[in-house]
Amino acid sequence: MNIHLLESDRFSDVGYQVLAGLGPVSKGMDLISLKKADVLFVRLAHKIDSDFIKTNCPNVKYVLSPTTGHDHLDLNFFKENGIQLISLFGETEFLDSIPSTAEHTWALLLGLIRKLPSASSHAISEKWNRDLFIGNTLRGKTIGLLGYGRVGRQVANFALAFGMKVKAFDLESKYYPAEIVGHDNFEAFAESLDILSIHIPMNAKNRLWLNGDRLEMLKSGVKIINTSRGGIWDEEYLATLIKNGHVSGVATDVLADETNPEILPDNPLMKLARLEYSVLITPHIAGACFETMHSTEEFVVQKLVDTLKLG
């Protein structure tokens, strides 16, 4: 069995040794080795679709991706061609031990509400006008969680620790602890939020779920955090609401078409960030912690081993 690590930087030593026990392991864009691959490992830097597989690794049988989202993968092509995907999707018990996305969500929120990036740039440029960067406290503010799964629950705990009021909207969740106000009507949920934090998965049903109509339902002056996927919201409409002040700030770790370097410069949120609107963008790094990357890599590698044992 030939195994190829398309994204091999800082790959877990433990995971590598397990893979090496299954067969030869190659790395990077070594096209000769890639052509021979039965197993392909990828994170988020590449879109693995029919063109990529037909051109580069036509013999692949397993794709390993230590991610919960699959929008970088062509699942229909996988299914049609008998390619088995091994990922973190649905691995609730294991994922409950992974805090990195929730921690990054909170870092984005603090960075946005306290204007940290612009304040740091100001200070580094040898200026010192604190009046330009007066922010807000979180205590007493209302945060709404769009999605109350693993990450939503972890973010709720942070919010409660900061003395915030917490609301949640999740059509698949019927139980909320006493300190969380659950909603099954989005308009009622949205109208009183100071902050909206997005935690629903990216799939066909949720693409552009946060459309113009729903964005308009949010209270004027709301701030929005997104560590889910860029396809969840309507970026063009959101940009309009930022420009007219209905949305007072956005902090996001994700953008639509973020893996396409030709499109990225023209992304509407990227344009606003360059114009110094209150838009904070990070390059999909919520899960990019050494501990998280290693543990998730080892987990999907072990899933491969278990799958092979089952035949």
| Residue whose C-alpha is closest to residue 139's, from 99, 117, 166 | 166
Decide if pLDDT at 311 tops 80: no
Q: What is the mean pLDDT of residues 54-71?
A: 95
Per residue in 93-134, pLDDT tens? 999 999 999 999 999 999 999 999 999 999 999 999 999 999
| Residue whose C-alpha is closest to residue 278's, from 113, 145, 37 | 113
Is the CB of residue 34 less than 8 Å from the CB of residue 56? yes
Q: What is the mean pLDDT of residues 1-7?
A: 94
Residue 7 pLDDT level (bands cut at 50, 70, 90) = confident
- What fold is seen in the domain 99-281? Rossmann fold (3.40.50)
Does the structural domain 3-90+289-310 have CATH classification 3.40.50.720? yes
CA separation for the pair 299, 82 (Å, rounded): 22
Is the CB of residue 272 less than 8 Å from the CB of residue 243? yes
Model pLDDT, residue 246: 98
Structure tokens at 133: 């960067």
Domain positions in the chain are 3-90+289-310, 99-281
Please indicate whether the domains covering 3-90+289-310 and 99-281 agree at the CATH topology level.
yes
Q: What is the mean pLDDT of residues 4-31?
A: 92
Ranking 1-15, 157-171, 219-233 by mean pLDDT, the lowest is 1-15
